[in-house]
Amino acid sequence: MEDRKTVAPPHPAHDVTEHVGYRLKRAAAALRGAMDKALRQHDLTVPQYACLELLDEQPGLSNAELARGAFVTRQSMNVVLRGLQDAELISRPATTDHGRALPAHLTAQGRSRLDAARSAVYAIEQQMIEAVPQRRLGALLDDLDGMAAALGG
């Protein structure tokens, strides 16, 4: 029989479902599922939507900047950008004068699609927010930021 050493959990937990990481992953999976479903109606994926949101806030971002902001690899963002460009939701120059970065911008059609999809995504966020007492929302956001920072994110 194998000699198994028991490692104490970082906080009282009876099983894996009571761990912070598990609950964060469960919430993230629920959010992703809801967003996938809502964005499908707007012919967008979650990374495409994130890209459009980022470009609305900061026009001209590069592939690398968009990848970081959307939590995907640069290679994945290349695919996202090609799809958005083919759908005429963004524009990018064929070449650039400085470096290799090709700045992306929303087109009028992209802005229109984003506006429609944003309503659906914000409705999902509202559902999540309603599950947290208003007096605790600021602390929850601070705690989530603190957890990400503690892991270098």
37, burial (CB in 10 Å: exposed 0-12, middle 13-18, buried 19+): exposed
Spell out the alpha helix ranges (H) of 41-133: 46-57, 63-70, 74-86, 108-130
- Domain assignment of residue 76, yes or no: yes
CA distance 34 to 40: 10
In terms of residues, how long is the chain? 153
Give tens-digit pLDDT for 54-92. 999 999 999 999 999 999 999 999 999 999 999 999 998
Other residues' Cβ atoms within 10 Å of the Cβ of residue 127: 12
Q: What percent of the chain has pLDDT over 70?
A: 94
Confidence of residue 96 (pLDDT cuts 50, 70, 90): low
pTM comes to: 0.85
Domain that holds residue 135: 20-150
Number of folded domains in the chain? 1
- Domain assignment of residue 12, yes or no: no
